[in-house]
Structure 1
Amino acid sequence: MRALTWHGKQDVRVDTVPDPQIVNPRDCIIKITSTAICGSDLHLYDGYIPTMQAGDILGHEFMGEVVEVGHGNAKLKLGDRVVVPFTISCGSCFFCEHLQFSACDNSNPAHKADMSEIAYGYPMGGAFGYSHLTGGYAGGQAEYVRVPYSDVGPIVIPDGLEDEKVLFLSDILPTGWMAAENCAIEPGDTVAVWGCGPVGLFAIQSALILGAHRVIAIDHHPRRLELAKSLGAEILNFEDVDVHEALAEMTGGIGPDACIDAVGLESHGWAIDNVLDMAKAKVGLATDRTHALRQVIHCVRKGGRVSIPGVYGGMADKFPIGALMEKGLTVKSGQTHVQKYSKQLLEMIGEGKIDTTFLISHRMPLEKAPDGYKMFKEQQNDVTKVVLKPH
């Protein structure tokens, strides 16, 4: 089959690789009908996430048709259309039973889990196409993919809902929803969102659905800010204003009740702390550029809530722990517990309460995926989401 493979920093290629096979009784094989490039994929593309190996198949946002089912899987049948969560979860461990699916204790093979246990204290859960820290699983930017524990993750899509309406149930829609839910939104709340990429835009949409009185979006790409505005957000261009001063003025000097960092480890801009982060990262003295997170902690009101859906992978420098403690902030973060939200969000899509198709800016065949990555990296104002079609 054809698949997009990683070969080094900003070097991805469509190669011919072996077809996936059933390995365990609960597996299934899916023929991919739609897959997408995620902002998190750019962290792999830019070389920020360790333990990638040449030839690894990328992609964790995908859906398709079931073409083979293991004998231990009673949930799926041949021909089912399914969206597959990017998190691989067994459904029965301590964490899955507590609906913390992304923390699954059984989905990361033992020898792979050792790497993440050294880095993070405990092993990470498994994930598709996202380094050997998360199990080294082949991703879905391919013609076919093997899905482990496929009696737990995949959600069957009813007839009448085309791919593009439901594809983002795989990751970014539930990620945006969980980011907003982690804000513990109360009536009258003001929520500020840093980053109007795919997750940030869905976090804006979700925060408003969950009852936020105001949502303020912060970015510097004009088109992304316009998309945020079209969803109902007020907008700030961080190149034109002092963000802290602007937010204080907009909230009567108090600050936002909750703030969402949808930027993650590759903050942009020429603020002095970010310039220092870039310099230290170049020489290996730091990994993550955390300007956005520092600003979030600085701007949120005293006693406020901080939600971090943005991906971080390593060590942060100059972290404002004093502000975090002295202001009495509550922080929630983590990879998304996709399976917790799938049914609810699918119903909302079917009822027309959530639209995701506005996000798609480009559609390309799988063979053009390297061009899609380059565009997404270099043209972020114009490229909001690339959907790839393998067949």
Structure 2
Amino acid sequence: MKALTWHGKGDIRCETVPDPAIEHGRDAIIRVSSCAICGSDLHLFDGVMPSMHHGDVLGHEAMGEVVEVGRDNQALSVGDRVVVPFTISCGECFFCRRGFFSGCERSNPNAADAKKLWGQSPAGLFGYSHLLGGYAGGQAEYLRVPYADVGPIRVPDGMPDEQALFLSDIFPTGYMAAGFCDIQPDDTIAVWGCGPVGQMAIRSAFLLGAGRVIAIDTVPERLAMAQAAGALTLDFMAEDIYDRIQELTRGRGADACIDAVGTEPETRSGLDAVIDRVKVAAFMGTDRPHVLRQAIQCCRNFGTVSIVGVYGGLLDKIPMGSAINRGLTFRMAQTPVQRYLPRLVELITSGRFDPSFVVTHQAGLDAGPDLYATFRDKADGCVKVMLRP
């Protein structure tokens, strides 16, 4: 089959790899009808995340048709049209039983390696390094889905791929980011990053009752998309974000701040961002947390900082004195997708939310390597890439 594979920093290839096969009785194989390039995939493209191997199949946003089912899987049938959560979860362990599917204790076969870095291991993820299981991803013609009697859900009749696909990751992640803010009527929510997850967070914040959303970015197309959703937009290249948020909130700060950027902010966003980049390049640091620092400083006393941007290691110069002395709450996670799916499916089928707005580019797998670069460079108005194998 054809698949997008990783071969080093900046080197993504569309090449032929072996077809997946059933390895466990609870598995399923799907023929991928649509997949996407996620912002977190760019950390792999940029060589930021550890434990990638040459030839690894990428991608954790995928959906398609079930073509084979393991003997122990009673939940799916051949011919079912399903969307696959990016988190691989057994459904039976301590965390899965409590709805924390992305903390699954069984799905990461390389949990010992993850524990060395993080203290404990999260769930395995599709197409996202051997630290998180080494599972082949969904930017391919076929995908093996472990624990397929827990993860995939059937797509309702009439729901197009352009809507269903984003139930795999970015819609649940953006909705979770807004949900973490415990939004009250008339709250002001500040969102750093107007990429796909940021766009979902902006609309979710309004859906959950925010009075105002401040969207922060510098890419015109992304700012325009946020503005179309009703957000007040700030260009961090044109104005001081802290000063503007203070001005807009009468000196109090935003009620909650969402970091939808993570470890690779735009270097020109501040002197500390430049220093972070130098330190990472010199192997003196693992991440570049400029946005997190700014979100902490811009949040009001006893407000919430919601973190859904990806970080991988140890963060430097975080203003914990500010957070502690002002009573901030931090909430963060890899999204336990299955926890949110029933609600989000209902929002789409009822017409209250249409996540397809975010798609700007569609193509086949052959165009994938070039579109990785287009997405990373924010060229050609690219906000979200959808691929159709």
Q: Give the TM-score normalised by the residue count of structure 1.
A: 0.98
Q: Which runs of 5+ in 1 are unaligned?
A: none
Query: How much does 1:381 deviate?
Result: 6.9
1:198 aligned to which of 196, 209, 224 = 196
What amino acid does structure 1 have at the position aligned with 2:257?
A: C
Query: How much does 1:321 deviate?
Result: 1.2
**Equivalent residue for 1:305?**
304
Q: How much identity, in percent, do the aligned residues show?
A: 56
What amino acid does structure 2 have at the position aligned with 1:359?
A: V
Query: How much does 1:358 deviate?
Result: 1.2
The answer as to whether partners of 2:299 and 2:305 remain within 8 angstroms in 1 is yes
What amino acid does structure 1 have at the position aligned with 2:356?
A: T
**Equivalent residue for 2:318?**
319
What amino acid does structure 1 have at the position aligned with 2:50?
A: P
Q: Distance in 2 between matches of 1:234 and 1:264?
A: 21
**Equivalent residue for 1:66?**
66
**Equivalent residue for 2:286?**
287
SS at match of 2:301: coil
Query: How much does 1:380 deviate?
Result: 5.0
For 1:29-108, list aligned pairs within 5 A.
29-108=29-108
For 1:359-378, list aligned pairs within 5 A.
359-378=358-377
Q: Distance in 2 between matches of 1:366 and 1:267?
A: 27
Query: How much does 1:23 deviate?
Result: 0.5
Q: Distance in 2 between matches of 1:124 and 1:77?
A: 29
Change beyond 3 A, Cα 1:226–1:301: same
- Provide runs of 4+ in structure 1 moved above 6 Å: none
The answer as to whether partners of 1:222 and 1:381 remain within 8 angstroms in 2 is no
For 1:266-285, list aligned pairs within 5 A.
266-270=264-268, 271-285=270-284
Q: Distance in 2 between matches of 1:13 and 1:207?
A: 37
**Equivalent residue for 1:247?**
245
What amino acid does structure 2 have at the position aligned with 1:96?
A: C
The answer as to whether partners of 1:102 and 1:125 remain within 8 angstroms in 2 is yes
**Equivalent residue for 1:6?**
6
**Equivalent residue for 1:221?**
219
What amino acid does structure 2 have at the position aligned with 1:324?
A: A
What amino acid does structure 2 have at the position aligned with 1:303?
A: F
Query: How much does 1:124 deviate?
Result: 2.0
What amino acid does structure 2 have at the position aligned with 1:275?
A: V
For 1:182-193, list aligned pairs within 5 A.
182-193=180-191
Write out per-residue CA displacement over residues 325-372 of structure 1, whole angstroms, 9 at most, x where no aligned residue: 111100000100100011110111011100111111100111111011
Write out per-residue CA displacement over residues 282-322 of structure 1, whole angstroms, 9 at most, x where no aligned residue: 11001111111000001000111000000000111111111
The answer as to whether partners of 2:374 and 2:380 remain within 8 angstroms in 1 is no
For 1:147-158, list aligned pairs within 5 A.
147-158=145-156
The answer as to whether partners of 1:128 and 1:140 remain within 8 angstroms in 2 is yes
What amino acid does structure 2 have at the position aligned with 1:314?
A: G
2:140 aligned to which of 142, 145, 153 = 142
What amino acid does structure 2 have at the position aligned with 1:88?
A: I
**Equivalent residue for 1:343?**
342
What amino acid does structure 2 have at the position aligned with 1:4?
A: L
Q: Which runs of 5+ in 2 are unaligned?
A: none
**Equivalent residue for 1:238?**
236
Between 1:54-63 and 1:375-384, the stretch displaced more is 375-384
Q: Distance in 2 between matches of 1:174 and 1:331?
A: 19
Query: How much does 1:269 deviate?
Result: 3.5
Q: Distance in 1 between matches of 2:53 and 2:113?
A: 14
Change beyond 3 A, Cα 1:125–1:70: same
**Equivalent residue for 1:117?**
115
Query: How much does 1:379 deviate?
Result: 2.4
SS at match of 2:40: helix
Change beyond 3 A, Cα 1:237–1:345: same
The answer as to whether partners of 1:129 and 1:137 remain within 8 angstroms in 2 is yes
RMSD: 0.8
Q: Distance in 2 between matches of 1:267 and 1:6?
A: 22
Q: Distance in 1 between matches of 2:24 and 2:52?
A: 24
Q: Distance in 2 between matches of 1:303 and 1:347?
A: 33
Q: Distance in 2 between matches of 1:207 and 1:381?
A: 28
Query: How much does 1:175 deviate?
Result: 0.1
The answer as to whether partners of 1:126 and 1:134 remain within 8 angstroms in 2 is yes
Query: How much does 1:115 deviate?
Result: 1.1
Query: How much does 1:14 deviate?
Result: 1.1
Q: Distance in 2 between matches of 1:136 and 1:350?
A: 34
Aligned length: 388
Q: Give the TM-score normalised by the residue count of structure 2.
A: 0.99
SS at match of 1:193: strand
**Equivalent residue for 1:256?**
254
What amino acid does structure 1 have at the position aligned with 2:305?
A: V
What amino acid does structure 1 have at the position aligned with 2:271?
A: I
